[in-house]
A and B are shown apart, each in its own frame.
Chain A
């Protein structure tokens, strides 16, 4: 098992290296020269050359790459090219908790809804409640996340006034201010994920309920509750966790988009604003940060999978 985990960790490191390298070279090779934007479109060629030398842009690309990579390894992602030239790492450190809060809350809310919904749907197969769950899941899957966010704002913020429409409050300002600002974004970002998980729980449970060991457990006279909770559900969870790992990417991508709807200055918003401002150090840093979360979560799912399914451990 140690070997497996080591291999996976190494794989994650290689993916991060590949992303960093691709981002570096693509931003520099693609025509349109993002660097001229970085040089404030200097009209005076001499001044431009001076800036080029100052930023080390006169050196060959591989040398620039090596220097850049060495700095990135030390956590130095450069400075924003705008305003007070704040270090990119500082911008990302401020934004990360917002995205993290949103993603975790979206995950928790969707799982809390999806698992009972999927279970009931499987146990009451073919009954009205099953059709209801299936229909809602289908709807949730077809709704663009940013539109769902707007609908939630219209209903719960504008019409009913129950929750704030936009913004973010850090957890240090109190639990309720933090939570109330994140409930609507979390629902918007988590709905598609929730629908996928609910469908997966349903089909996986239906599969497991047909197995011999569940029939034996029922034949031994165990209560239906114990049969479901003790035998069927834990086994049905294994494929669900795999799908969670794959679908978590969807949830994160949705979080990146939904941040814009709710004006939350998280990593996604930082990335988008960076692109709009052509602030390339920020874009580079934000892509690396968002990608890092992806790679890390994928790794986490693999580890979790080993912990849950003993069969993988033996291999």
Chain B
């Protein structure tokens, strides 16, 4: 297996200039616009969506027309309203799981890399084990253990992506630890915690930010897969994966049910990846493992 080889470069540019540099990239700009619209739609879904996502009507399997721009599903529910509500779950799960995986993974990785010793060995053995399997599969395994439902799905996906963050943080810590400013900080008698927080953490942020961006799109995909498999949030909450799963028996008669929810997933994933690519260029992070 390849190690994530990341070179600690110059300190990352200031925030304002990073944003300006990213938006100069046309694909990243398109991605940012799409995500902004999606976020607004998700946050204000109850106000913006034309119908209640679970309200049923007699017009079952109606193709797209003026009253229902994306058509109607087999129970007469408005597809557009369901997709807009699905965005809430997707974005929420994507952001929350990555936040948890990031904080826990980086903490583990930095501590392991800084202290070394048996704790490091133990942590890395587990991380290596998880690394041998794709994240989606780990998430399925973990749902098998914890069960379904929103909280369990979040725990499963967070744990599935934790190893990536721990690995990258540990690798970076090992190299940053040898820098003279860390030795100097230690000579000044600073506590370990302070050294880790003030001197190591700021110098490993760039690759972690890039990884986090890519992970959000992967976590959104993972949630969609789990929902699609019936292992997701719940049968009453519309999510993109669940809508596709319910559509499966009807796609031969109602193509819109198969096309639009998938398009929502793909455009979201694509937008985040465009942003991630631009971020990678701007922050100058080189990674040997660009498949996750």
Contacts and interface: CB of A to CB of B under 8 A. Distances in A.
A182 B141 CA distance: 25
A18 interface: yes
A261 B2 CA distance: 32
A283 B143 CA distance: 11
A142 B269 contact: yes
A249 B133 contact: yes
Nearest to A294: B133
A19 B141 CA distance: 11
B229 A272 contact: yes
Given A272-B231, A283-B144, A142 B273 contact: yes
B136 A253 contact: yes
Given A144-B269, A147-B262, A158 B134 contact: no
Interface in A263-294: 271-272, 274-276, 283, 287, 290-291, 294
Contacts of A250: 134, 291
B132 A295 contact: yes
B60 interface: no
Interface in B228-283: 228-231, 241, 244, 247-248, 251-253, 255, 258-259, 261-262, 265-266, 269-270, 273
A260 B147 CA distance: 19
A247 interface: yes
A272 B141 contact: no
A112 interface: no
B158 to A, nearest CB: 15
A5 to B, nearest CB: 17
- Main secondary structure, interface of B, reads helix
Contact of B1 (A150, A246, A271): A246
A232 interface: no
Given A150-B248, A153-B251, A158-B252, A253 B137 contact: yes
B61 interface: no
Q: How large is the interface on A (under 10, 10 to 19, 20 to 34, 35 or more residues)?
A: 35 or more
Nearest to A274: B144
A242 interface: yes
B129 interface: yes
A144 B2 contact: no
Given A147-B262, A151-B258, A247-B291, A275 B252 contact: no
B225 interface: yes
B184 to A, nearest CB: 39
A196 B229 contact: no
A154 interface: yes
A298 B131 CA distance: 12
Nearest to B217: A142
Contact of A272 (B147, B230, B255, B259): B230
A257 B265 contact: no
Contacts of A243: 291
A303 to B, nearest CB: 15
Top-6 shortest CB links A-B? A147-B262, A158-B252, A253-B134, A249-B134, A150-B258, A275-B144
Interface of B: 1-2, 129, 132-134, 136-137, 140-141, 143-147, 221, 224-225, 228-231, 241, 244, 247-248, 251-253, 255, 258-259, 261-262, 265-266, 269-270, 273, 289, 291
